[in-house]
Amino acid sequence: MRLEARRNSACAVIFGGAWVALATHAFLLASTEQWKSLYNEGVTALEGDDPGNALRSFEHASALHPDDPNILFGLASAYYQSKKAPQGLAAVHKLLSLPNVNFSTLMSTGRLLMSSGRLDEAIATFKRAQSVAPSTIQGQASSVYFDNLFGYLLGQSHQNQQAIEHLQSLVKAEPHDPEARFRLVLMLEKTGDFGRAYEAAERALQEFPDDSQIVLSYALACYFTQRTEASEAAYLRLIRMEPDSDQPHFALGNFYSDLGKFDDAARQFEIAVARDPKNYLNHYMYGTMLFRLNKTNEATAQFKTALELKPSHADSYFWLGRILLREGKLDEALAEFQKTVQLEPKHIGAYYQLGLLYARRGDKEKAQEMFKIQERLNADIHKGIIYERMP
């Protein structure tokens, strides 16, 4: 009996261990599929100009698979598009700390750094990409491609530094002129130096508390350094300073939109429309917020008004296409996206939507053509971001 009991106990351990192993394997497979699915959801949200949802998807994917370069790149992109530059830079730094990052991801990361104004870090990243580059890039020798790229970046970096030094000299030479201080803050923000931009804006505000440009630059500097309450207060102050203007409400609407406060953003854009109903951008931005709030009929009316004021506004056609897509009117949506790319041949999001629509219609050749155009635009060194969808 004891021997039988031991044998049964041993079988329980062996088969119990096997069940644990199988369960663990199944969990890992499920987790793998889950993080890939979350990653793809994040990519789709970014393509659809929805950085808030993209950020949530990439954050969940990163929690499941924290050291994947593609997820980290998507996370960084979503942070930057959400105006959260410090978090975006942290994700970039984590990505670059990983060994064996491939050429494509390094190039995309370099472009992201370049578009955020961090040219020195972009150069270092491109140099790392050069070390693993194929022999030819976009039809030319790799060495020639990188020589041209580094020449452009070094020239741009030198120009930016010269511009900052020039503006700093102007501030010293003309201490009673707020214009130079305003331009200095904007230039520092353009180069991604948000800490110095905030310090310069804070000093400028102390000197010129009633200058609307200075208050605006301070609001932006606060926002980029995660001082959201101070930023909101500055925008509200700007509204009090210019009560009849649409522009402070437009700026505050953008601020709320970036924070994902779509109700608050819609109210501000609605006021901007009332202040200046002839400004097509007021109608356009109000429409995007109404779309976020699932008020598609009202959003459609705003986009159509924007197009009445400016018939060549490609983005209004794009959002009308998204509304029609949501309503299941695929042929009409296709027509709107086609108008978008006719007016704006470099509209990446429209080519993405066209690719999906052609694929749903079974036109694989046309779908592939749209995705290839999208990829080519993404790969443009002056545009920014390549998304790599996982299988």
pLDDT above 50 for 16: no
pTM of the prediction?
Answer: 0.73
| 242-307 fold | 1.25.40
| pLDDT tens digits, 286-296 | 999 999 999 99
Task: Give 64-72's long-range contacts (Cβ < 8 A, gap of 24+).
Answer: 64/31, 64/34, 64/35, 64/38, 65/31, 65/32, 65/35, 67/98, 68/35, 68/39, 69/95, 69/98, 69/101, 69/102, 69/105, 70/39, 70/105, 70/388, 70/390, 71/35, 71/39, 72/98
Domain boundaries, the chain: 242-307, 312-391
Beta bridge partners, 137, equal 140
Q: 84: which residues sit within 8 A by CB, 6+ positions away? A: 226
Between CA 105 and CA 109 the distance in angstroms is 6
Does residue 152 register a pLDDT over 60? Answer: yes
Tokens of 94: 């984590």
At 368, the amino acid letter reads Q
pLDDT in tens, 312-364: 999 999 999 999 999 999 999 999 999 999 999 988 889 989 998 999 989 99
Same fold: 242-307 with 312-391: yes
Burial class of residue 20 in the structure, from the number of CB atoms within 10 Å of its CB (0-12 exposed, 13-18 middle, 19+ buried): exposed
> How would you class 67 by CB atoms within 10 Å of its CB: exposed for 0-12, middle for 13-18, buried for 19 or more?
exposed
pLDDT on residue 126: 92
pLDDT band at residue 378 under the 50/70/90 scheme: low
The DSSP symbol for 135 reads S
Handedness of CA 29, 35, 37, 40 (dihedral sign): negative
> What pLDDT sits at residue 1?
41
- Top-level CATH class of 312-391? mainly alpha
* Secondary element (H or E) of residue 120: helix 119-130
